[in-house]
Amino acid sequence: MEPSSSSFQKVRSQHDSGSGIQAVVGFEDDARRLVEQLLGGKKQLQFISVVGMAGLGKTTLVKKVFDEPSVVYHFYVRAWTTVTQQPKKRDLVLGILKSGFNAGTEDSDDMELSLMLKRRLSGQRYLVVLDDIWDSKDWNDLMLCFPDDNVGSRIVFTTRLADVPLQVQSGCYQHPLRFLNEKESWDLLRYKVFLDEACPSSLVEIGKQIASKCHGLPLSIVVIAGVLANDRTAQWWSQVAQDMNSIASTAPEQYMDTLVLSYNHLPDHLKPCFLYFTAFPEDYEIPAWKLILLWVAEGFVKIQTTEYNSEDERNMLEEVAAHYLKDLISRSLIIISKRRSNGGIKSCIVHDALRDLCIRKADEENFMHHIPNISEYFHSIVETPKAFLVQRLYSRENYTEGFFSPPQGNFCFPKDTPNVQTILAYNGSGKSYVKVMYINSYNLNILLVFKCLRVMDISSIGIDRIPMAIESLQQLRYLALCIEACFGGTSLRKLKHLETFIVRSQYKSVLPDGLLECYKLRHLILKGNFRCITQLDDLETLSSLQTLSLPISLADVEKILGVTPNVRKLTLSKDLYLSWRSLTIPNLAKLQYLESLSLRNNLGRSSSDELVFRELSSPSMFPITLKKLTLVCTFLKWDEMKKIGMLPNLEVLKLQYQAFRGEHWETHDGGFCRLKHLSFKFMRIVKWSAYSDQFPNLQHLKLDECVKLEEIPIAIGDIYTLDMIEIRNCNPAVVKSAHRIKKDQMNKGNDLLKVSIFQE
């Protein structure tokens, strides 16, 4: 029976302020004119600039146009990269390659990357956005990478500086953004606070006054809306309006001062969390899990109860920290940059203007102290006694070997221990793919001075081994490192308070001695190639461990899992086949709290193994609590999918690089009752047979580099819950089937299904 059109009226309660996609109130004509410029005009390569001050909505406007269906359909390639104040051509080229083609690696040199970009753009009708360009030389460095093949390609850039467009290209179409008028300001404020609800009549007049005092600056309106949304009473709104009177001014330099109110009205527990964004580089996408663990380690998160034991309390602290992040997002102080496959927050970013506010307030309150290197801090102690009391040091420099070098000359270290509890060092570019600089661990002996250190993240600086000084930092809660060679003989046995330990290694390394005796350890994340040297036979139960990422032998994994019964997130990346036919991993069914599992097999990639089809060693090898499963290079038979489909709580399934082998997957009835996200990446499947009732709760289908797949089953479109079909670099027939599904659904009254296509 055909579903009626009313069946597709889905209930949604998502607030757009946190998604990074804001309503373009007042800019409808601007959006229309930009679309006309993109789709019409000459066939030659054209340049379009959107100019305006910070917070005026340049990025929001261009993002909306970038995602317009007509624009998506018109351009074969679309790419977006953000330009920092001190950009490097390499970073910009890599950003475009990764956005438009999912290509480009840190191993390629600058010339190879530039040639790769030009080659991939040649003959294509492309749209490239350079967001927040500061100087014409940023464009000049890139100009030769963009071919003009007379096919209607466009380059759009946003800038705060009116003279940049003229310096970039004489024929550039310049689109200056204006401030919102009073009606548009009130419309935006009302929408951000109430969405589709009606505004109570008692708040209309005071709301219009507040909107007027934002002087037409969208960012100020959005942030003030975050202050108002949590308390919709006339008394609170009147108080906010009164506070705005004290900073009301028509001077342009005062427009951004309205943002100070958003900080002043933050609850005390959120202020340090917001100021923490000071430490991260400009335009840096900050992983949500990192923020949460850092906030907990810093002691920012409090629970107003004593009813929980220590283990439950730590779980609660991380849950509360996650609510803190959502609260900052709901107040429009932080923007979600990426979402997880289950809809959660993957990473976030802070607007440049709000980041400036963070830096200013952090300096005023002596919350954080910026240093280019450790030596600079010790010199500042001598010159400014206030520096001795600072609790947190951070750096965003491009590192050299001298970052940890001790002060030169006859400098004497202070007699007392500095009050520093935190050292955060992130690469100045904010890009994860920038190569690290390696230094000798001997230089890190300077850390012996910091007896109060609780948090240290120097993972952007490679060191040859864990320095001996680490053993003396017994207050450490959070430690993140990058090791070049090995761990040496350093022991972590004395770090009894350590909760998070993150290490990535370029070469084969060993687990540090005593690590698994840190009984408070909650998150152990190892990236690289490791082997155990710790005695595993006499381990005590590590009941606190929640996250475990282990690229070590299965024999060692089994011993560790035997004493970690409360693990919630597990990643195994090693040789997962101990027998010829079966995927053999430790029995996970006893992990009663496991929610996320990632299996990344390192064997079986050779051509001699091409015809081997694997099986699951046991139908009950996965715990029923599992919500997310990622399989990489596991070479399973498609028939084994029936066992996975019976997992009662599975919501996310990711299949990558021959996770399953065979040309045909015929989906069976009775499984995947809660599956919301299904993704294929580099899978060689040719035919997929499925019906809508076999995925009753699917919301997101993602196909990436599936070049052999012939089509998406048209019945997939009849899944009532389906929101998005995302396709990247697949068989053109798959693209056609996606368009056919979209058209079929629109004919049935479902205009909510989105189809997103990225083709090289």
Same domain for 94 and 209, yes or no, is no
Residue 16 lies in a domain: no
Query: Does 512 have pLDDT greater than 50?
Result: yes
Average confidence (pLDDT) over 204-226: 87
On whether both 172 and 186 belong to a single domain, the answer is no
Q: Describe the crossing of helices 58-66 and 28-39 by its angle, rounded to 10 degrees.
A: 50
Name the least confident of 173-187, 310-324, 383-397, 586-600: 383-397
pTM passes above 0.85? no
Is residue 387 assigned to a domain?
no
> pLDDT band at residue 544, thresholds of 50, 70 and 90?
confident
Q: What is the CATH number of the domain that holds 203?
A: 1.10.8
Q: Identify whether residues 232 and 281 lie together within a single domain.
A: no
Sign of CA dihedral 105, 110, 112, 118: positive
Task: Copy the structure tokens of residue 525.
Answer: 């994340």
Q: Is residue 377 part of a domain?
A: no
Residues 153 and 46 in one domain: yes
Q: What is the pLDDT of residue 169?
A: 65
Please give the average per-residue pLDDT across 179-188, as a whole number. Answer: 89
pLDDT of residue 309: 53
pLDDT at 240 over 60: yes
* pLDDT at residue 121 tops 80: yes
Output 726 or 504, whichever has higher pLDDT.
726
**Whether residue 723 has pLDDT greater than 50:** yes
Q: What is the mean pLDDT of residues 79-89?
A: 80
Report the pLDDT averaged over residues 457-477: 83
Predicted confidence band of residue 105 (pLDDT cuts 50, 70, 90): low
User: Quick check: 708 and 685 in contact, CB under 8 A?
Assistant: yes
In this prediction, residue 608 has a pLDDT band, given cuts at 50, 70 and 90, of very low
What does each C-alpha distance from 250 to 215, 247, 567, 755 come to in angstroms? 7, 10, 56, 45
Cβ-Cβ contacts under 8 Å for 586 (sequence gap 6 or more): 554, 557, 558, 561
pLDDT digits (tens, 9 = 90+) for 143-177: 888 888 999 999 998 887 776 666 666 667 888 88
| Residue that the structure tokens 């290209």 belong to | 169
535: closest CA among 519, 516, 554? 516
Angle at 169 between CA 166 and CA 175, to 5 degrees: 60
Are 209 and 253 contained in the same domain? yes
- Output the CA–CA distances (angstroms, integers) from residue 372 to 16, 279, 359, 559, in the order listed: 38, 12, 15, 43
DSSP tally for the chain: helices H, then strands E: 21, 31
Give the pLDDT confidence score for residue 687 in this predicted structure. Answer: 95
Is 14 a member of any domain? no
H helices of 75-194, in order, are 89-101, 110-121, 136-140, 164-168, 182-194
309 falls within a domain: yes
Q: How many domains does the chain have?
A: 3
Output the pLDDT for position 428: 57
- Residues 214 and 140 grouped into a single domain: no
Over residues 105-118, the mean pLDDT reads 81
- Domain final residue, candidates 313, 328, 360: 360
CB-CB contact of 443 with 405 (8 Å): yes
- Among residues 122, 152, 176, the one where a domain terminates is 176
Mean pLDDT computed over 431-440: 43
**Distance separating alpha carbons of residues 130 and 161, to the nearest angstrom:** 14
Mean local confidence (pLDDT), 485-509: 79
- Specify if 139 maps to a domain: yes
Of 376, 372, 392, the residue nearest 384 (C-alpha): 376
CB of 147 within 8 A of CB of 125?
A: no
* In the block, residue with structure tokens 């992990």: 591
Q: Does 17 have pLDDT greater than 60?
A: no
Give yes or no: residues 39 and 90 share one domain.
Answer: yes
* 290 belongs to a structural domain: yes
Same domain, 34 and 172: yes
Residue 681: is its pLDDT beyond 90? yes
Radius of gyration of the chain (CA): 27
CA distance 16 to 360: 28
Residue type, 374: I
700 domain-assigned = no
| DSSP one-letter string for 217-235 | -HHHHHHHHHHHHT---HH
Task: Say if residue 171 is in the same domain as residue 226.
Answer: no
For the domain that residue 331 is a member of, what is the CATH number? 1.10.10
d(CA 450, CA 6): 64
Q: What is the CATH number of the domain that holds 126?
A: 3.40.50.300
The stretch 576-586 carries a mean pLDDT of 64
Query: Does the structure show a pLDDT above 70 at 407?
Result: no
Q: How far apart are CA 624 and CA 553, in angstroms?
A: 25
Same domain, 52 and 108: yes
- The reply to whether 97 and 197 lie within a common domain is no
589 pLDDT band (50/70/90 cuts)? confident
Query: What is the separation, in whole angstroms, between the first and last Cα of the chain?
Result: 39
Domain that holds residue 211: 182-264
Minimum mean pLDDT among 59-73, 394-408, 623-637, 673-687: which range?
A: 394-408
- Residues across the chain: 760
Among candidate residues 296, 328, 360, the one where a domain is terminated: 360
| pLDDT bucket at 489, cuts 50 / 70 / 90 | low
The single-letter code of the amino acid at 472 is S
- Under the banding of pLDDT at 50, 70 and 90, the label for residue 99 is confident
Q: Which of 510, 593, 589, 598 is nearest to 544 (CA)?
A: 593
151 and 189 belong to one structural domain: no
Reading the block at residue 410, the tokens are: 């006859």
Task: Indicate if the pLDDT at residue 361 is higher than 80.
Answer: yes
Weakest mean pLDDT among 213-217, 243-247, 459-463, 705-709: 243-247
Q: How confident is the model at residue 25 (pLDDT cuts 50, 70, 90)?
A: confident
Which region among 118-127, 411-420, 652-661 has the lowest average model confidence (pLDDT)?
A: 411-420
